Structure 1
Amino acid sequence: MVLRTIIADDHPVVLMGARAALEAGGDIEVVGEAHDGDQLLALLSMQPCDVVISDFSMPGGRHGDGLLLIDHIRRRHPRLPIVMLTMMNNAAVLQAMRIRGAMGICDKRAPLREVAVAARHAYFGRPFYSDSIRAQLDADGLPADAAHARLSLRELEVVRLYVGGQSITAIAERLNRSVKTVSRQKRDAMRKLGLVHDGQLSEYARDRGIA
């Protein structure tokens, strides 16, 4: 049996490398590629597959990316195993991916062959995490940054998108929230972190792997 996968990433080079890694063993076939969340959801509605593999951060598309995209996939295809690709090293966000339903999480800095391993594991219902991801998940309970631990997942998502260059209005549209709500969540996050201006927020996010 050949395992059918659909892969999504906004970088063509990553798609090319992931396809090569997945199909190298002969037991996995890439049956579709997407460049953002909208394309991925449209493809999933038309093309049957056994595992979906998606980048966590893909700007563009009205359905968004990140945790929101995982939610969309789970709602529409509840039995479809999900593998996420990411460069994030923030334990709270990684834990949220797992809780939301990601069966596998691969560090994009790890060897690409891990993507194929993760796809096989996910298909058979076995979790797979890159070593660096597992280390973050295992350390999730450590109180190394008490201020950061007080942020809600909604606040974390707003911070991630904002420091990634999106405006408050764009974030509100993407997350289906009001501008007022998103503005408040950003303000609350900065207050909890003891930050005064956006430059500090960007630096904080980069240092802690949120961006």
Structure 2
Amino acid sequence: MEMEIDTPKGPGRADLEWPEGSTRYLLAITHGAGGGVDAPDILAVRDAVLASGGAVARVTQPYRAAGRRMPGANTGPQDLAWSAMIGRLRAEPGAAEVPLVLAGRSNGARVACRTAAELGAEAVVALAFPLHPPGKPEKSRAGELRGAGVPVLVVNGDRDPFGVPDAADAAALEVRPGERHELSKDPETVGRLVADWLGERLLRD
């Protein structure tokens, strides 16, 4: 189901898909700074989560829906728009009764971490978390992982020029050999890792 969602920063879009049978949780996942929700790793996560009984909302943030490539240096407007979109998704029938997982790749992973506690998420999935700008390890963003307030799964490539987070800064860290920032060499494994970790976290009897 394609949705246009009004936010204080303009309209965004969400593609909401439900699994067959009962819904075990809702995963809302968003894109990188200049990317889209059809990135190979995002699609692989969608497929694996749907197969495991989770609903998936692929969220296009307002600045990308408006055709802008970058969100701007100020994180406040982006977090505000994202929070409004998550609130609207949670108002969908059946969505408020199941656990919420926030997810994103790259810049979207940072947004998910910054807003997880406020939005009542049970967990965060961070794909290709950009630990620092390329070549600038002194500008670490590890504090966003540590400050999420909920368990975070990080999946990064060992050749990512944005760096690889420390295992101590997340509940789980999966480092994919040979992968760069795109996580595009073996996205199916990325999807399976995410679905399995969420199953262990959220679907225990």
Would you call these one fold, judging by a TM-score over 0.5?
no
TM-score in terms of structure 2 length: 0.43
Is the radius of gyration larger for structure 1 or structure 2? Answer: 1
Higher RCO (Cα < 8 Å, 6 or more apart): 2
**TM norm structure 1:** 0.42
More strand by share: 2
